[in-house]
Chains A and B, each alone.
Chain A
Amino acid sequence: MKILIADDDPNKMRQLKSFVAQEFVDAEILECNSFNSALRCAMLDEPTVILLDMTMPTFDVGGKETGGYERRYAGFEVLRRLKRRRKARRVIIVTQFERFGEGADQMTLDQLKEQLATQYPENYIVTVYYQASDAQWREDLKAALEMAIERVVD
């Protein structure tokens, strides 16, 4: 089973990787740090499950690459593209935010969950709220991953 982790925050990435490696020993972990690389991997490498951050830069930062513009709803866009290409990937959104966007575009975490569930029922599993200082995310993510794997089996 391939699990893709797409996140631009190095600390969060480290935590997620170590958690997945520990809980799902057999899983092959794929790692991406931007919208673009996440999308490429999601489309081409056929991960079974994707742990997807909502806000990411366009490109992987490094070397001369500064990352391009930051996409507030990169996660949404990845889901939209998966749906458009009818790709059967199970997506778990892992976010550190309780509120997204600004002004008229602003939405709470609950609103985000509802929107994701309504718009992308084929791909979206659940959203996990990640807080580095709180262990709750580990339990939530474990349950979410089990749910995703179960759905794959179905």
Chain B
Amino acid sequence: MGKSRTASIRRVPEGLNRRSVRPFSSPILAGIKPDEPSLILLKEQPVGYIRHLLEQVPQSAAGLVGELFPKTLKALRLKHTSPCSDLASELRWLTAIFLRHKEMLEQWVSIRSDFERSFLSGDYDQARILLAEAELRFGKSIWAIESSLLLSDCSEGIEGNRLTLRTVTSEAPNWIAVLSTFLSERVETALAPMEYEAVVQSHLDFNDDYHPIARSAFFRVSPAKRNSITNLVDVLNIEESHSLCDRLIVSTWVLENLISQRSTDQETESSEVVRALVGSIDCPRFLFLRKVLTGFPLGEPSPLEQMVFRAVHFYTLGDYENASSCAERAMVASPETLEPYELFVKSKLRLGHVPNCPFNQNSIAAKICSNLAVVFSREEKINSALESLLRIGYQLDGFEIGPQLRAFYALHSYESNPHVLNRDGAIYSSIFTPRVAVSLFKDSSIVCSELESMERLHPSNAAVSLFKANQLAVRSNSAELQIGLSIPSKRLLRNEANICEQLHLYDAATSKYDEVLRDTNSTLGEKSEAAAGLYRCLTAKNEISKAARLIVETSLERPQIIGKSTLVELLKQYPEGGDDEVSSDIAWPILQFLSQQLEYEEKSPSKIHDVFEDFLIACSCKKPSELFEISNQFNAREFSFFLRNVCAFEVLAESFWFESQDEIAVERISICEWLIENDPDNRRIDQDEIAEISRIRAVRELTHHAERSRIFVDTDAIIESLPKTIIDRATRCMTLGMLKDVSLRKTIEITKALMEEIDNSRIFIIDEGFRLFKQVFEDLKTQFLSSNKYGLDANLSQRIRHGTLAGALRAPFESQGLVTLKDSSGSYMQNEHWTRRVCQCETDAIGLNESLAEFSACVDKIIYRVRNEWVQIRQSPESSSALFNFDFTEDQLLGLYEETLSAESPDGMVRRVFEALWQRTDEALKEVRATIENALSSELFEAIKQSEQRIDSVLGHEQSMPIRAAFTTCGTHLTMALKAISEWFRLDEQKHVPDCQLRSLLEASTQAAKQFCGPSRLEISLLLDNDVTVPGAQFRALWDMFFILLDNAAKHSETAQTNVVLEVFASGPVIKMVCKNDLSSTIDLDLLKEKAGRLNQMTADEHSLATSRVEGGSGYGKLHKILCYEMGLDNYRVLVSADSNEFQAVIELEVPWRRQ
């Protein structure tokens, strides 16, 4: 410390001037509270004067300084204090109050330290006793509330926390209730700090010009923003509403804020008043700040300081046994400070021991120890350990160790193994160590002076000597350390490397760092530090490529060795747009990947892709698989790492050389295959990936099959089951048709009218063969269209109309939150989604909900018409809107009849008729597809347009912008959805479906169910004990079966979200499926049980099958149809049951294709 600092503290603070005439003192002394101008004037007086006055003030004027020891929470109400225009006055005022109550404050500080020790060591009972004692002696305080919340949260969990909060908020004034709510969240073990800060930000909207109360609240509750607040006057002013101990806490934060914002080592403009404040009481924190702010000698070292200095002494000498035992003693004595923990953990790790904490293993102290061990050993979970330390730092914001942990996080999440602390780390330290001195002051002469002071207090301390030798070497421009102590050579080497670097002797520094890095005995921490040093030297020499190479060679062993600062800074040096010379090194894409994997940078596949693409271009390749041929140009380990990690699916998806997800899958498989052959040690990883890719491809393939074509009529099965009468009729028809003499085919048309008035009627001669053909045709058409087992109508009902169509048409609207469902009264529910986002008042909400309800109704009406009128078979002229038209004119039938006569057998005639029906189906499908893509599209888009206009007029153009954007997005999705739906109306190519795995089939059908089934949203858990191969021909039936089970759950659970567990067991030829879903508590259970009983009686009889063509039922008729006729099973069982909160369907089937 320079002379000026020492000299300045000798100045006697301005004190009492008894002869001064101060007009406001008389009324105060007479017990009258001064008015605002007088109070402001009073605060501007010297500390000594204020203090004297406060000592003279009678009880009746105690309100002058607020309630220092409030007896109740109510007393903590926010008072309207007069804003004071300058910080110095507020600090003077506070100093006077502290001096007036010095003894009480020091007692409180002592009890607080005891509380922190008990709490950290896990003795929550003792902590509770101490907290109660503090409240009894010093009154109610925000500190006590926070401590109580913390204790409750750590000992009883969130419930305890919330109970305590409830007690506080029920008694406390609003201001305290608000602060307590924030504090309750901050001490929550489960709440991540970033999340917490986001909550604070969203409520208080931080801005330094914001309302004084909000700013003060921010200062209190937001550790992240505390040091960025510059207007501290209001903060201190508002503190006058709080207890004395709260004022001490806040004044400490204010002092830390002032140091943090200080740009030089010089004192602040308020240095005089600041000096007075830190000198007002003798608590450890103020003593430390006094040293930092004023250079005031610390005097006789405290026992803790002595222990820590001894620990660093032994640590520097490499005597880790003694270092760890000194640190352990310090930690046990003062678990509220971080320094001993760091020394203890580092020493233990040096000894190769597990740093077992001397406290209860469930204590916070033990958690700190274990997380520090992960950080210092640079284990894989380093980020998670740092996050945990930050979380504890937030929970313990009111503790001495809290800010220290946050500073530790800030430092270690950026630097790999910091030689110096960051500024906050130095400010929040508890002990003024050599490292703190080096970190806190920029001026080398001040640092040397501080180290000399330390040397006097701790003679022959190796750490002080080493730090001093470093300073002297740099100051004398010498690369050699002048130190007489026996310090381990590795430590000396690292220090020398650092000195060389500071002296810009980069070659010498590089060689020393390199020596540390390549030494197999170096710890990961040392390697990390050396790698960072090497990087700095190489970049200083502008050898970027060399730096990248070095880092990649070092980091593949243990990526955590490379600190954030090193990697992030290096990547910034990469030339924009690439450069063949630089980009051809595989190191760059690997490092870009590592930076994201280590969470040093946000995940961004496109950023990795940039460097990846540059590398491929430099290698004259388009795809990674093209590199296989030149693999010998790369280091084998780096190339494998590149292929396995950098060329990931999401990075390849950024490359325009791949036109589809399937192409990427093929590329990834070829990469995995190459790796299996060339990097066999990791074969398992690559084999697993191939299996996973294949599974995803299979699911996609199956979904595609299921989505593309849904129309199928099993004509083979119809033919097999045709009644003999039809065949007889066809045979006779053919026999007549074979008569060469056409006139022989003729006969009299015998009608009822002819028989009743035979004499008066005209006789018509008709072609008997044609008459018979028409009968045969009608019979076959009926079978084709209406067979409950195999017909088209049952197929349309099962695969299209049953839930799927409505779900698919509604999906684009639902995904944008534009439609709601009906409630039990039949009215559309309120649209909370958009009301919350765009409505500013009740009128807006009413108008918007009316418009959206109208829109929902319109969409549902259109969907109803599509399902119930369009996607139907035209049975009569009345059902003219039905799109499946199977009316044949007389001429058409005659043409067909003549054509069928060329068939060689009645069977051939039947097949020819079916061909004609297929042809007609195909024409109908074309019409359906066109209608969906045109008429339906127009109707839905018109509905969108109308609704947009209505909403625009309700909310106004600007306000309705977000919802109109949603309509636009919905429009694009709708067009795609209609295109996809129209694809359903194609003839099923069942024969082309390949065999598949049951798991893929289940995944694909559950995905579809999640997408299309409603109104309840499905949450499906899938459990499969044994995967089996399913023949392609059985795929569709099983798909439909799973879909029906899941659709039923979504339709009938009567809950907003239905949790479904679908378990499938495959053993031999038996496959058992159990589908369980939860039910709403409002469901009529008796009715459901009765229904379940009826369903269990159901078999594949005609009555059940008739329901397979009807919508709105349970779908169980359809299930029987699938099992019995589509799968051709004769041995199966369907059993359903319901209890108070669960519905269960069990299907057990014996499949022929699994029989040996």
In the complex formed, the residue of A with least CB distance to B700 is A64
Interface membership of B976, Cβ < 8 A? yes
Decide yes or no: A11 and B965 within 8 Å by CB, A65-B660, A68-B653 being known contacts. no
**Are B968 and A96 in contact (CB-based, < 8 A)?**
yes
Query: Does chain B have a CB within 8 A of A86?
Result: yes
Do residues B968 and A97 form an inter-chain contact, with CB atoms below 8 A? yes
| Complex contacts, B661 vs chain A, CB 8 Å | 59, 65-66, 68
Residues of A contacting B1146 in the complex (Cβ-Cβ under 8 angstroms) = none
Q: Which of A55-92 contact B (CB under 8 A)?
A: 55, 58-61, 63-66, 68, 77, 84-86
Cβ-defined contact, B700 with A66, below 8 A: yes
Assess A43 versus B656: contact at CB under 8 Å? Given A8-B972, A85-B577, A98-B964: yes
| A119 to B: closest C-beta gap in Å | 13
- By a CB distance below 8 angstroms, the chain B residues around A10 are 975-976, 979
Tally of contact residues, B, Cβ under 8 A: 27
- B206 within 8 Å of A (CB atoms): no
Whether B606 contacts A77 by the Cβ 8 Å rule is yes
Does A48 interact with chain B (Cβ within 8 Å)?
A: no
Residues of B within 8 A of A68 (CB): 653, 661
Proximity bits, B957-977, A CB within 8 Å = 1, else 0: 000011011001101100110
Interfacial chain B residues near A99, Cβ < 8 Å: 961-962, 965
A63–B885 CA distance with the chains assembled, in angstroms: 28
Q: Is B662 an interface residue (CB 8 A)?
A: yes
Q: Which residues of chain A are near B961, meaning CB under 8 Å?
A: 98-99
Q: Is B704 an interface residue (CB 8 A)?
A: yes
Q: Which residues of chain B in 157-172 are interfacial with respect to chain A, using CB atoms and an 8 Å cutoff?
A: none
Given A64-B701, A98-B965, also A84-B576 (CB < 8 A): yes
Does A36 contact B658, Cβ atoms closer than 8 Å? yes
CB <8 Å contact, A9 and B653:
no
Closest chain A residue to B649, Cβ basis: A68
Determine if A39 is an interface residue (Cβ-Cβ < 8 Å): yes
Q: Is the interface of A mostly helix, strand, loop or mixed?
A: loop
How far is the CB of A121 from the nearest CB of chain B, in Å? 16
A2 at the interface (CB under 8 A from B): no
Whole-angstrom distance between the Cβ of A120 and the nearest chain B Cβ? 14
CA gap between A98 and B659 in the complex, in Å = 30
Contacts of B701 in A (CB 8 A): 64
**A40: shortest Cβ distance to chain B, in Å?**
4
0/1 interface trace, chain B 655-681, chain A, CB 8 Å (1 if under): 011111110000000000000000000
Q: State which of A37, A44, A84 has its C-beta within 8 Å of the C-beta of B659.
A: A37
List of B residues within 8 angstroms of A96 by Cβ: 968, 971-972
Point out the residue from B657, B659, B975 that lies within 8 Å of A59, measured CB to CB: B659
Residue A133 interfacial (CB < 8 Å): yes
User: Is B44 among interface residues, defined by CB-CB distance under 8 A?
Assistant: no
**B623 close to A (CB within 8 Å):** no
Q: Are A11 and B968 in contact (CB under 8 A)?
A: no
* Binary flags per residue of A23-56, CB closer than 8 Å to B gives 1, else 0: 0000000000000110110011000000000010
Count the A-B residue pairs with Cβ separation under 8 angstroms: how many? 64
Residues A97-147 near B (CB distance < 8 A): 97-100, 133
CA separation between A84 and B576, bound complex, in Å?
A: 7
Contacts of A64 in B (CB 8 A): 660, 662, 700-701, 704
CA separation between A60 and B606, bound complex, in Å?
19
For B656, B701, B945, the residue with the greatest tally of chain A CB atoms inside 10 Å of its CB is B656
Is B1054 an interface residue, CB under 8 A from the partner? no
Q: In the complex the two chains form, what is the Cα distance from A99 to B660 in whole Å?
A: 29
* Nearest chain B CB to A43 CB, angstrom units: 6
Q: Which residues of A contact B962 (CB under 8 A)?
A: 99
Whether the pair A40, B606 counts as a contact (CB closer than 8 A) is no
Within 8 A of A (CB), among B937-970: 945, 961-962, 964-965, 968-969
Complexed CA–CA distance, A60 and B661 (Å) = 10
In this complex, which of A64, A84, A97 has the most chain B Cβ atoms within 10 angstroms of its Cβ? A64
| Cα–Cα distance between A86 and B575 once the two chains are bound (Å) | 14
Residues of A contacting B197 with CB < 8 Å? none
Q: Which residue of A lies closest to B578 (CB)?
A: A84
Expressed in whole angstroms, the Cα–Cα distance for A92 and B704 within the complex equals 35
- Closest CB of chain B to A128's CB: distance in Å? 15
B610 at the interface (CB under 8 A from A): yes
A63–B704 CB distance below 8 A: yes
With A66-B700, A98-B964, A99-B961 in contact, do A61 and B976 touch (Cβ < 8 Å)?
yes
Report how far A61 CA is from B701 CA in the complex, Å.
14
In the complex, chain B residues whose CB is within 8 Å of the CB of A100: 965
Are the C-beta atoms of B577 and A39 separated by less than 8 Å?
no
**Bound state CA distance, A61 and B661, in angstroms?**
10
Interface 1/0s, chain B 1013-1039, versus A by CB < 8 A? 000000000000000000000000000
How far is A64 from B699 in the complex, measured between Cα atoms in Å? 10
Beta-carbon nearest neighbor of B980 in chain A: A61
Closest beta carbon of chain A to B1128's beta carbon, Å: 29
Residues of chain B with a CB closer than 8 A to A58's CB: 653
- Look across to chain A and name the residue whose beta carbon is closest to the beta carbon of B660: A65
Q: Once the chains are docked, how many angstroms separate the CA of A72 from the CA of B422?
A: 39
Q: How far is the CB of B534 from chain A (nearest CB, A)?
A: 30
Which chain A residues border B660 with CB–CB below 8 Å?
59-60, 64-65
CA A62 to CA B975, docked complex, whole Å: 13
- Verify B610–A84 contact, CB threshold 8 A: yes
From the candidates B610, B657, B700, B975, name the one contacting A11 in the complex (CB within 8 A): B975
Q: Please measure, in the bound complex, the distance between the C-alpha atom of A8 and the C-alpha atom of B661, giving whole angstroms.
A: 17
Question: Can you give 22 contacting A-B residue pairs, CB < 8 Å?
Answer: A8-B972, A8-B976, A9-B972, A10-B976, A11-B975, A36-B658, A39-B656, A55-B969, A58-B653, A59-B659, A59-B660, A61-B976, A64-B662, A65-B660, A65-B662, A84-B576, A96-B971, A96-B972, A97-B969, A99-B961, A99-B962, A99-B965
Interface residues of chain A, those whose CB is within 8 Å of chain B, are 8-12, 36-37, 39-40, 43-44, 55, 58-61, 63-66, 68, 77, 84-86, 96-100, 133
Supply 6 further A-B pairs (C-beta < 8 A) apart from A10-B976, A36-B656, A65-B660: A44-B656, A58-B653, A59-B660, A66-B700, A96-B972, A98-B965
Top 3 closest pairs, chain A to chain B, by CB? A40-B656, A64-B704, A39-B656
